[in-house]
Amino acid sequence: MSIVNCVGYAGGERVGDVALEDVSEFLERPEGFVWIGLHEPDEKLLRQAQAEFGLHDLAVEDAHSAHQRPKLEEYGDSLFVVLRTAKADADRRRIAFGETHVFVGPRYVVTVRHGASMSYGEVRARCETSPQHLRQGPGFVLYAIMDFIVDHYFPIVDSLEEELASLEDELFDGAHRGKEVAQRIYRLKSQMLVLKRAVSPLVEVCNRLERFDQALILPETRLYFRDVYDHVIRINESADNMRELLASALEANLALVSVRQNEVMKRLAAGAAMVAMPTLIAGVYGMNFEVMPELHWAFGYPLSIVLMVGSVGYLYYRFRKASWL
């Protein structure tokens, strides 16, 4: 079940399915190539594919262990390309990343998928409907796979930008919750960091493929890699911009939390001051001294009440004017 498809092509046309053990016999033909897709194969299957296609030991080891960064390596007349795939869940709250390892030789293309990844059946169907392009050989298949993977980054970037815009709106509304917003910012930053690690190395990979001086990549095929390169640059720039906005959003969130804390402290201080004035007056006249000027005065009690209410009213007016209340 690890072998998704194994198909032979000649002259840009599909010849038919080829069993893995018959690949060597098919490749004895003067033209054509084999495109085989593997999904999380075990070591035994990979070694069998290595024997049929003559894959390099180091590349096979990387394809089996996975967990590789995107890269392009050259082994003689063949290429080994590692790509990171991305797939959002149903509600686009989480992004799952996987890997695709592509072995490209003069007569073969071997794709090894690990983790979250879409089937490349759509890529195969698209290539088969375009024989004039498929005649360019394995190099064009490599472009089609890379273009498919990179194009699936755009919806993910769009969803992250939408979430960032929603977060910014929530950041400055009246019901701002510092802790929840900070958690969302950190979650977005972690997803953005993984996306950046997946996309950033592709700039160099596409740049090398566009200028690759090898018969495996035909001159007319290199033009298509330029289109992938442009898409990668756009995604990489969007990721950088969003990382900067997230950093600014985190700083703004911390600043708003500090501002709200200061507002609370000012209200508490104003309230304490308004309570302190009547407390002071009541404390003075509540002392148990026998000789006090207003102690036996008929208007002493009403005057003290007026002083209390007046002082509180005056402080309230000043604090309101200073926007402390």
pLDDT at residue number 50: 87
| pLDDT band per the 50, 70, 90 thresholds, residue 91 | low
Write the CB contacts of 239 (distance below 8 Å, at least 6 apart in sequence). Answer: 157, 192, 195, 196, 199, 200
DSSP H or E run through 73: strand 71-75
How many residues can be counted in the chain? 325
Query: What is the CATH superfamily name and number for domain 1-131?
Result: CorA soluble domain-like (3.30.460.20)
Stated pTM of the model? 0.78
- The answer to whether the CB of 131 falls within 8 A of the CB of 213 is no
Q: Can you give the pLDDT at residue 175?
A: 59
For residue range 236-274, list pLDDT tens digits in order. Answer: 898 888 888 888 887 777 777 777 778 788 888 888 888
Helix (H) or strand (E) holding 321: helix 300-321
Q: State the DSSP code for 224.
A: H
Q: Do the Cβ atoms of 131 and 165 come closer than 8 Å?
A: no
124 - beta bridge partners?
A: none
| Domain range list for the chain | 1-131, 263-321
pLDDT exceeds cutoff 60 at 290: yes
